[in-house]
Chains A and B, each alone.
Chain A
Amino acid sequence: MDPGRRRRWLVFLLSILVGLAGGLYYGWEVRPVRYVDTTPDTLRQDYKTDFVLMVAEAWEATGDVSLARRYLALLGEDPAAQVRQALDYAVQVGYSPADLHRLRTLLQAVQQTTPEAAP
């Protein structure tokens, strides 16, 4: 291969690399894929914790464990695990004693009722 031809190939490969870098930068940084139709299980942990706290507050109002389970199921398969995880996070970031109490009460309620027992 003559030197001119080799040089052209080199420049061609280099331009592909530059283009690749540009494409990756554009696709990951400038306009990354935007997930606009997400599900609650993808929520950040602080939002998940607040979600569980809302379930606890709703449970206080309604006393309906099946309703609580229905909402908790949006976060994952094991409702008790979701509440436990939320409780851990709430303790870690210093939720108020009243909210911690709500979460603990919900955890007890969820643990006491099996999914089969819930209507």
Chain B
Amino acid sequence: MTPRPRGRTVARRRARPPRRGHGYVFTGLLVGFGLGLLIAWVLAPVRYTDTAPDRLRADFKDAYRALIALAYWGNPDLVRAQSRLALLGDPNPAQALAVQAQQAQAQGVHAYEVEALRRLAADLSRAAGARLPTPPPTPTPTVPPGVTPPAGTPPPTPTLAAVYTPTPSPTPRPTSAAGQPTATPAPFFRVFQQDTVCDPARPGVVQVEVYDADAQPLPGIPLVVRGPQGEVVIYTGLQPERGLGYADFVMDDNATYRVQVQSGSETADGLRMVRCRGDAGAYPGGWRVIFMAVP
């Protein structure tokens, strides 16, 4: 066995290129990318000085919306108001206005701001041709067979759907000699429909809807509910998903309620829980009351 010459082996090892990976390239890229992001997002981010209204903070959007409504009050150009509202990117501008009117009223904002918001919401709904889901519903048997209304409960008022004919009326505009807005006289509302409703998902609920003379839902209408706890005021439009003119309240058992539009209306009275029967047994039913403005 011949021993290998050691000196030649060492020389060969030195001459061979070292085995190194390319990790340092990857590390360099990562470090660079991180530095780039640091500069781009933190040290020198893109400055937006020419923003659009849809980028405004929520409270400024509200101010913008209110200003659109006030401007519309002064210059009733619906197309202009619509194009301005479109800048805010609200999915449903009429709803947004109605909800804001409610909030503004609750916060005690200037009455004319609330009125302006309501007016624009109503005019938008009218322009969009938002009609009643079905012209005040036909009298389906809302008290199913086998349901026994409690003693003293008046029978449901017959529906007037068959004789109702909406009469178009011009939109009232605030005008005066000085060009300043004047209060529009509040219309009188009559009870258009009062029926019992059996809905196991909403037991004992009185659903109230308020419409103008053109059958358009009216948001922000105060309703006076009188019951055993006294008098409570509720407002339409707080649940826009159920309709702009919708409001509801839950009845207590064995209590009778009356409801009317605060500004003046007929009274829907005798509102008590009714007993309904479903697959799961008996449950308390409610009422559906529709107020319609007298043309």
| Chain A residues near B (Cβ < 8 Å) | 4, 8, 11-28, 32-33, 35-40, 42-45, 47, 50-51, 53-64, 67, 71, 74, 102
Contacts and interface: CB of A to CB of B under 8 A. Distances in A.
Contacts, number: 174
Contacts of A71: 63, 67
On chain B, which size bracket covers the interface? 35 or more
Contacts of B179: 60
A74 B57 CA distance: 12
B16 to A, nearest CB: 12
A19 B30 contact: yes
Given A19-B30, A24-B40, A38-B55, A54 B45 contact: no
B278 interface: no
B40 A61 contact: no
Contacts of A42: 48-51
B59 to A, nearest CB: 9
A23 B70 contact: no
12 contacts: A11-B25, A12-B27, A13-B28, A16-B32, A20-B36, A28-B46, A35-B55, A42-B49, A44-B51, A57-B71, A71-B63, A71-B67
A37 B54 CA distance: 9
| Interface SS majority for chain A | helix
Nearest to B110: A67
Interface in B111-154: 112, 116
A62 B75 CA distance: 11
Given A23-B34, A27-B39, A32 B60 contact: no
B25 A57 contact: no
A17 B32 contact: yes
Contact of A35 (B30, B48, B74, B116): B48
B32 A22 contact: yes
Given A8-B20, A38-B57, A43-B56, 19 more contacts: A12-B27, A13-B28, A15-B26, A15-B28, A19-B34, A20-B36, A23-B32, A23-B38, A32-B40, A37-B57, A39-B60, A40-B64, A42-B51, A44-B50, A47-B51, A56-B71, A57-B70, A57-B73, A58-B116
B25 A27 contact: no
Contacts of B57: 37-39
Contact of A54 (B29, B49, B51, B70): B70
A64 B87 CA distance: 26
A26 B40 CA distance: 8
B17 A40 contact: no
B181 interface: yes
A89 to B, nearest CB: 13
A74 B180 contact: no
B67 A54 contact: yes
B68 interface: yes
